[in-house]
Amino acid sequence: MSELSDRCPAAGGGGGAAETWKRHIVRQLKNRDLIQYATFRDLIGFYTRLLEKTSLTKGVMGGSIRSPSYDGSGSISHLLHMNDQLKKSMGELAYQVVELQQEVKVKDCVLEQQRVRLSVEERGRAGLFEIRQELQGRVEQVREDNRVLKIEYDALLEQLRGVEAEHRLEKVKEGHLLEDMIQLKRQAAAHMNNRNERRSRAREAKLQRELQAAARSKVAVDSSSSAPASRCTSPKENHRSNSPEKGRARLFRSASVSSPRIFTSMKELFGRKRRGYSVCSLEEELMCPSGICLSARVPARALQVLEAHEQDINAVRFSSSSDLLATGGTDRVIKLWNVRGGSMTHRATLDGSRGGITCIDFDSTGWRILAASYDNSALLWQRDESVPKVTLTGHSRKVTAARFSSSPHQVLTGSADGTIRLWDLNRAACVQEVKVGSYCSDVVCSHTCIISGHYDCKIRVWDTRVVSCVEELPAQGKITSLDISCDHRQLLSCCRDDSLQLMELREWSKGRTCFRAEGFKCFSDCTKAVISPDGGFLAAGSADGAVYIWNVSTGNLKTRLPDKHSSPISAVSWSPSGEYVVSVGKNRLAVLWSDI
């Protein structure tokens, strides 16, 4: 008992040590709970229950040891029994401790896996951080590039502003130059009008002198004639008239020419012929065209072959007198040729065009030449002057056709810009414009109407009095050229379907006659065909270098003129006298044909 009592303080002391150890364990567990609460939550629960059982066991042991001290009646057997129960409880607790240790090991394994995963994630995060750093570097590079581009853009913007300022200055200079050019044109026009005025006055003075000389001359009149005939005589003839053989004749001054009233009337007549600012001279007004051809000759052979131009020839036209021929081509000049005795001789060269010549036309007197040009203009020359007298500008594309209208002071032009313009030569200005919307290949005039051919396979008839289309006739292909007969009754059209079509102008409903031939092929969009002066034949050049001539009455091919052109023929012209045909082509040659 003494040993037991001696051990009781030790037991008590052991209880104090247990309490110290408990508080230490609690502090450790609290610290661990704070660090890994979620991971070891189950282990903490088990450990808490273990502590509760341990406390209960200590209480039981303390009571058992102290009981003999207080009552002294406890038996050793009872103490041994309690000791067995305690051992049994301690074994269970040890078993639970082992289980908890195993769970701790499992949790440690899980924790190690999580640490491995965390290290992997850390490495991935480090890689992403490097990528982020690289992207940031690229962003900085892009910002730097943008900054450089912004500087360049600002520099270009400043340069653009400078160029725009220079452009505005150039526009102002252009306006001033245009005004200067207009002023120079006005001065040139005034100078030309003054020169024409002086020429006209000189012609009037010459005519007046001639009239006065005629008024002073003496004529002999046969008194026996019911209708006296007068003639101008020389002084020698007047002396003869005083001889006895002419006793019945008497000398007198012609009252018809010496009368002041008649002289004044003639002067006023010629004065009315002269118009202010007109491009027509008095000599031009007085000239008359030649007569009408009654029977045209069908050419049979070539009289002359000559190299007329330095480049391809696009157009050819006879004057109304048939003794003057004009040719024009891509060398930008018009050449005039005298046609006499079956030969062509060069007469003059007309300069001034800045583009190739596409069409040529003479006025009714043969004194003025009109031409269409690739430089978007039409030009007017006088026969004896090498520089153009008038330049008509206003089309936006090349001028493909230029014709004199029924009025001597008006001309007509057609252009690739789809418009037809009527010009007043007195003012050199456009007085009417018709917008067709289709490429205009050729135009012709007939009294009060204009007829135009277009690439949309249509022939349009315009009334100039109301500026409207009165007829629209379909064709079988692109219209390359138009020609009207001398009596203005028939219209000829050449089409790209390798055919010529002839129709009556006054009776559109009768349809049209189509002319074709084996081997004939329309070479280009500007191939020109013509009607003979008597209206009995049609002539056109082919791509094979031959001239084809059809008989209008029979509709059959009359003749074919080969072997002179080595390249396609672009245009032909029939002289108003009906005697000659001239063909021109792409080989710079002009061939004079006739039946002589």
Residue type, 384: D
> Can you give the pLDDT at residue 283?
41
Is the pLDDT reported for residue 248 higher than 50? Answer: no
Which of these ranges, 204-218, 301-315, 520-534, has the smallest mean pLDDT?
A: 204-218
Which of 239-253, 286-300, 512-526 reaches the highest mean pLDDT?
A: 512-526
Question: What whole-number distance in Å separates Cα of residue 18 and Cα of residue 283?
Answer: 152
Residue 459 sits at the vertex; the CA angle it makes with 402 and 392, to the nearest 5 degrees, is 20
Q: How much of the chain, in percent, has pLDDT values that exceed 90?
A: 33
Strongest mean pLDDT among 41-50, 186-195, 196-205, 381-390: 381-390
Instruction: Look up residue 299 and give its DSSP letter.
Output: P
Domain ranges of the chain: 2-137, 195-286, 301-594
For residue 467, is pLDDT > 90?
no
Instruction: Give the SS3 label for residue 524.
Output: coil
For 324-349, the DSSP string reads EEEEEETTS-EEEEEEETTEEEEEEE
Q: Looking at residues 167-185, what average pLDDT do you find? A: 86
Of 506, 509, 464, 475, the closest CA to residue 489 belongs to 506
Q: Which residues pair with 529 in a beta bridge?
A: 540
3-state SS string for 37-102: CCCCHHHHHHHHHHHHHHHHHHHHHHHHHHHHHHCCCCCHHHHHHHHHHHHHHHHHHHHHHHHHHH
Average pLDDT, the chain: 79
Cα 242 to chain centroid, rounded? 84
For 208-224, what is the mean pLDDT?
69
Q: Worst-scoring range by mean pLDDT, 230-239, 261-270, 551-560?
A: 230-239
Q: Using the predicted structure, report yes or no on whether residue 261 has a pLDDT greater than 60.
A: no
Q: What is the pLDDT of residues 371-382, one digit of tens each?
A: 999 989 999 998
Least confident of 318-327, 461-470, 570-579: 461-470
What's residue 435's pLDDT? 87
Q: Which residues pair with 252 in a beta bridge?
A: 219
- Percent over 70 (pLDDT), the chain: 77
Q: Average the pLDDT over each of 109-113, 286-290, 334-338, 508-512 and give the range with the smallest value.
A: 286-290
Q: Which of 338-342, 370-374, 433-437, 532-536 has the weakest average pLDDT? A: 433-437
Confidence of residue 506 (pLDDT cuts 50, 70, 90): confident
Give the tens place of pLDDT for each residue, 332-363: 999 999 999 889 999 999 988 889 999 999 99
Residue 233 has pLDDT above 70, yes or no: no
Report pLDDT for 59. 58
What is the predicted pLDDT for the residue at 2? 42
pLDDT of residue 294: 63
The β-bridge relationship of strands 368-373 and 377-382 is antiparallel
Q: Phi then psi for 77, rounded to 5 degrees?
A: -65, -40
What pLDDT band is residue 246 in, cutting at 50, 70 and 90? Answer: very low
pLDDT at 207 over 80: yes
Query: Residue 500: which of 560, 540, 546 has the closest Cα?
Result: 540
User: pLDDT-based confidence at 128, cuts 50/70/90?
Assistant: very high
C-alpha distances out from residue 467 to 395, 463, 464, Å: 18, 5, 5
Q: Which of 465-469, 554-558, 560-564 is predicted with the least confidence, judged by mean pLDDT?
A: 465-469
Instruction: State how far the Cα of 421 lies from the Cα of 433, in Å rounded to an integer.
Output: 4
- Of the given ranges (41-45, 76-80, 268-272), which has the lowest mean pLDDT? 268-272
Does position 139 have pLDDT exceeding 60, yes or no?
yes
pLDDT tops 80 at residue 122: yes
Q: Is the pLDDT of residue 210 over 80?
A: yes
Q: What is the mean pLDDT of residues 464-488?
A: 84
Partners of residue 101 on adjacent β-strands: none
pTM for the model stands at: 0.54
pLDDT beyond 70 at 37: no
Say if CB 499 and CB 515 are below 8 A apart.
Answer: yes
Given this model, what pLDDT does residue 157 score? 92
| Stretch 206-220: mean pLDDT | 77
Are residues 216 and 208 in contact, defined by beta-carbon separation less than 8 angstroms? no
The pLDDT, as a whole number, for residue 542 is: 92
Whether the pLDDT of residue 415 is over 90: the answer is: yes
Q: What's the pLDDT at 203?
A: 82
Classify the phi-psi angles of 72: left when phi > 0, otherwise alpha if psi is within -120 to 50, otherwise beta: left
Whether the Cβ atoms of residue 309 and residue 588 lie closer than 8 Å to each other: yes
Q: Which residue has the higher pLDDT, 14 or 321?
A: 321
For residue 524, what pLDDT is reported?
Answer: 86
Domain 301-594 CATH assignment equals 3.90.850.10: no
Q: Looking at the predicted structure, is the pLDDT value of residue 66 above 90?
A: no
pLDDT of residue 6: 42
The predicted pLDDT at position 442 comes to: 92
Position 107: which residue type?
A: K
